[in-house]
Amino acid sequence: MKAVKYTKDGVVIPSSWVKGWGTPVSIRRGTHMVILESPERKASRQRLGRMIRKLRHTAKELGPLPPEQIAAEVAAVRAQRARRS
């Protein structure tokens, strides 16, 4: 951590820490953190966000599941896992 420099504006890190991530590196500032990520990681994170939004939207359209259906799904998954072990 000797390479890290603390200034009144923030933290300066050495560029060698992000070499190998690809030419461009995306930098975002959160409330109490700085996020450094490669373009591949950024694309993956955005893809996951889109998938989650679609899943939430679809779940909202379908409405809540009845307790019997939830119990049946849980039982099916438990039976499948029991066969594997």
CA distance 28 to 21: 15
Half-sphere exposure of residue 34: CA atoms within 13 angstroms, side-chain side: 9
CA angle 40, 28, 21 (to 5 degrees): 35
Residue 4 near residue 11, CB atoms below 8 Å: yes
Query: What's the gap between Cα 55 and its chain centre?
Result: 15
pLDDT of residue 34: 78
pLDDT of residue 4: 78
pLDDT, averaged per 10 consecutive residues of the chain (85 residues), comes to: 74 77 76 81 92 95 92 94 83
pLDDT of residue 24: 79
